[in-house]
């Protein structure tokens, strides 16, 4: 039996960064659904935060899971469910792109705290500022 511990911090956004997931109740509903779906699909989610225009998720990658398959399962299914349940007044879509960064064991507590404190964090810094900082810090190019 293989022993694998690979943590990935994922960030993905709504289509065109539209702030469609307004209200704490709606975000909690989406979060609960994503977590339930992940359990059913054998995806281990350590932390998840749903914001009005983006999500942060810390996942422990399974031995046969790929980042692209995980994002397809999470984003595709949750967008389908949001639309099926008519949770917002317009058609909901996630942006095709996403960020994924490996997280070392020693850095896990900081990433967990960062994800858990998204509401507080975005009271001080906009998602646009966070986005710019994230792509610069990780050496990514901007999503289109």
Output the average pLDDT for the chain. 92
Tell whether the model's pLDDT for residue 131 goes beyond 90: no
Whether 144 maps to a domain, the answer reads: no
Domain range holding 43? Answer: 6-138
Separation CA 142–CA 134 (nearest Å): 10
pLDDT in tens, 13-61: 999 999 999 999 999 999 999 999 999 999 999 999 999 999 999 999 9
Whether 143 maps to a domain, the answer reads: no
Overall domain count for the chain: 1
SS (H, E, C) 68-135: HHHHHHHHHHHHHHHHHCCCCCCCCCEEEEEEEEEECHHHHHHHHHHHHCHHHHHHHCCHHHHHHHHH
Whether 25 maps to a domain, the answer reads: yes
Whether 1 maps to a domain, the answer reads: no
CATH number at residue 25: 3.30.70.1290
pLDDT in tens, 96-118: 999 999 999 999 999 999 999 98
Tell whether the model's pLDDT for residue 141 goes beyond 90: no
Whether 75 maps to a domain, the answer reads: yes
Say what the pTM is.
Answer: 0.89
């Amino acid at each position: 039996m293989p022993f694998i511990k690979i943590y990935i911090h994922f960030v993905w956004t709504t289509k065109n960064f539209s702030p469609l997931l307004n209200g704490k109740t709606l975000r909690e509903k989406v979060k609960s659904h994503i977590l339930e779906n992940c359990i059913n699909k054998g995806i281990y989610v350590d932390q998840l935060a749903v914001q009005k225009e983006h999500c942060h998720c810390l996942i422990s990658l399974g031995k046969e899971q790929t980042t692209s398959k995980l994002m397809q399962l999470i984003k595709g299914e949750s967008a389908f469910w949001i639309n099926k349940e008519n949770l917002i007044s317009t058609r909901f879509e996630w942006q095709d792109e996403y960020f994924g960064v490996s997280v070392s064991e020693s850095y896990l507590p900081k990433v967990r705290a960062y994800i858990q404190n998204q509401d507080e964090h975005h009271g001080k810094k906009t998602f646009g500022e966070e986005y710019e900082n994230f792509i610069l810090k990780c050496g990514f190019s901007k999503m289109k």
